[in-house]
Amino acid sequence: MLPNVLQASATDHVPVLTGEVRRLLAVQPGETVVDATFGAGGHSTQLAADLLGRGKLIAIDRDPDVRRYFDRFRRNAGVQTRLLRGDFSIVLEQLGSNGVRADALLLDLGVSSMQLDRPERGFSYAVDAPLDMRMDPSSEITAASVVNDTGERELESIFRRYGEERYARQIARAISRRRRTEPFERTGDLVETIRAAIPAPARFGDGHPAKRVFQALRIAVNDELGALEAALPAALEMLRPGGRIAVISFHSLEDRIVKRFMREQERGCVCPPDFPVCVCGREPVLRALWRKAIRPGAAEVAANPRASSAKLRAAVHV
C-alpha cells in the first residue's frame, strides 16, 4: 500500500481519491508530472513524493490564493517545481505548443475546499457574503452579474442544465421579480429568494435548497465545462507515449464530457462494418486504466463528505 505522506491541517483541502490517483498515475522517479488543478497542493504533495527526489512537477491554477500553498509545497517537495497561474485549458495548450511533455497529468475539477471555506469568495450558500464565485478574481463576470443581468429564460436554462434544478423556472421567475426593485449583491439575498420560490416540502429534503443553483452559477461564472472541453485535447497533446492522465469530476456533466472524450480516443477503426478491410487507418490513442469510474469508499466519504460525488477516470497514451 502506498504511504500517506500528506500531513494536512484541519483547515487544508483534503484531496479526494488520493491512493487511487497515485496507483493509476504510477509516477516514477525522473518523470514530469503536471497537476493542472493545484489548489492547496494535496495531490501534488503525494505525486512529488513518488518522484523520490528526481523529476519535475508543474502546478497550474487560476486562483492567485494558491501561491501560499505552493510556496509551502515547494519548500518540502524535494524536486524541481513550477507554478503557472491561469485557466488550465489555456496553460496546457501553451505548454504543449512549447514542446513540454508530461508523463503523468491530473485534473481535479470543481471548487476546492479552500475556496468554499472562505466566505468572502461567495461560493458558499451557508454564510452571507458578496455574490462573487470567481475562481480568478480578475475575471469580469461574477455571480452577481449573472443573476442581475441574465434574462429569465436563460437563467432558467443555467439552473436546469448546470444544476439539474427541478424548480429552475420558479427560481428564475422569483429572481427576475426581485431584481426589478433591488439588485442581488449578497449570497444571503439569493438564498432567501430561492427558499421562498420552491414548494415547502422541497426545502427540507435532499440537502440545502440553494445547493443546485449555487453549483450552476459557479459553473457558469467560471465557464467550467467550456474549459474542460478545451483542456482534455490539450492535455492529451502533452502526454508522452506511455503517459497517464487522471481526471476527478464532481458533476454528472463533467463526468459525461470526460467519459465521452476518453471513449472517443480509445476507438480504433471507424470504417463502416461492411468494409472488408480498414481504409481509415485510425489507431487508438488512449487505453482506459480502469473501465468504469472509480468512486470513493465509505470510509473516505465518512471522513470527507465532500468526496461523496467524486468520480475518477484514468487512461494511458498508447
- State pTM to two decimals: 0.89
pLDDT tier, 283 (very low <50, low <70, confident <90, very high otherwise): confident
pLDDT in tens, 100-143: 999 999 999 988 766 776 778 889 899 999 999 999 999 999 99
Q: What is the pLDDT of residue 13?
A: 62
Reply yes or no on whether the pLDDT at 11 is more than 60. no
At residue 2, the pLDDT reads 35
**Is a pLDDT exceeding 90 seen at residue 257?**
yes
| Chain mean pLDDT for the chain | 91
Q: What percent of the chain has pLDDT over 70?
A: 94
200 band by pLDDT with thresholds 50, 70 and 90: confident
Where is pLDDT greater, at 203 or 36? Answer: 36
Q: For residues 200 and 106, which has the higher predicted lDDT (pLDDT)?
A: 106
Q: Is the pLDDT of residue 1 over 70?
A: no
| Confidence bin at 271 (pLDDT 50/70/90) | confident
- pLDDT above 70 (res 8): no
Tens digit of each residue's pLDDT (9 = 90 or more) over 178-194: 999 999 999 999 999 99
Lowest mean pLDDT among 5-9, 273-277, 284-288: 5-9
In this predicted structure, what is the pLDDT of residue 306? 85
- Tell me, what's the pLDDT at 115? 73
- Residues 43-63, mean pLDDT to the nearest whole number: 96
Whether 41 has a pLDDT exceeding 80, the answer reads yes
Residue 73 has pLDDT above 90, yes or no: yes
User: What's the rounded mean pLDDT across residues 202-213?
Assistant: 84
Q: State residue 180 phi and psi, 5-degree precision.
A: -65, -30
Residue 88 pLDDT greater than 90, yes or no? yes
Average of per-residue pLDDT across 215-233 = 97
Asked if residue 9 has pLDDT above 50, the reply is no
* Mean pLDDT in residue range 227-233: 98
Considering only residues 200 and 194, tell me which one the structure prediction assigns the higher pLDDT.
194
* Residue 299: per-residue pLDDT: 95
